């Protein structure tokens, strides 16, 4: 009986001591602070030629190209909180939806740092208006080399 009991205890210790992890799970490290650069809608009814996009911008030339395209119909960037970005210290994340009927908005509402990535969460919401809209939200986060994933 003592042998059976000892074997049973060793078995329990073994199974409880072994941690089984889901290889696809990643530990959440922290929420990532971000600063809003601009949020709104493009007013050109698609004339800007911007497709639905989740963009990660790490260079001044890419940032200038996006602002130029956004401004091709209306000067949208006049309402931005800032346009001069230090890409040595920051990364820009831009979420642009497709052209939608009626009113819509998009919001980057949470950014989480995981072990091997940065996860960006957004919400979309409609509101009553008869105007076509192409919503966008642009933020900046501290510079990162991690992969950025959009949910």
In a domain? residue 132:
yes
Q: How many structural domains are present in the chain?
A: 1
In a domain? residue 87:
yes
User: What is residue 19's DSSP assignment?
Assistant: P
Residue-number span of the structural domain to which 137 is assigned:
26-150
In a domain? residue 12:
no
- Quick one: pLDDT band at residue 10, thresholds 50, 70, 90? very low
Sheet with strand 28-31: strands edge to edge: 28-31, 103-114, 117-127, 147-150
Report how far residue 108's alpha carbon sits from residue 82's, in angstroms, rounded to the nearest whole number: 17
On the question of pLDDT at 136 being above 90, the answer is yes
In a domain? residue 4:
no
Task: Give mean pLDDT, residues 88-100.
Answer: 95
On the question of pLDDT at 61 being above 60, the answer is yes
In a domain? residue 115:
yes
Task: Give mean pLDDT, residues 53-74.
Answer: 95
Task: Note the pLDDT of residue 127.
Answer: 77
On the question of pLDDT at 37 being above 50, the answer is yes
């Amino acid at each position: 009986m003592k042998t059976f009991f000892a074997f049973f205890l060793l078995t329990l210790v073994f199974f409880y001591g072994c941690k089984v992890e889901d290889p696809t799970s990643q530990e959440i490290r922290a929420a990532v602070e971000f600063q809003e650069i601009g949020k709104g809608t493009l007013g050109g009814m698609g004339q800007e030629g911007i497709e639905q996009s989740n963009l990660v911008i790490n260079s001044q030339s890419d940032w200038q190209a996006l602002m130029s395209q956004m401004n091709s119909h209306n000067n949208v960037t006049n309402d931005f909180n800032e346009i001069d970005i230090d890409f040595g210290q920051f990364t820009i994340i831009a979420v642009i939806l497709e052209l939608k009927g009626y009113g819509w908005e998009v919001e980057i509402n949470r950014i989480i740092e995981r072990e091997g990535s940065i996860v960006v969460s957004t919400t979309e919401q409609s509101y009553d208006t008869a105007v076509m809209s192409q919503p966008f939200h642009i933020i900046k986060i501290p510079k990162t080399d991690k992969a950025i994933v959009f949910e």
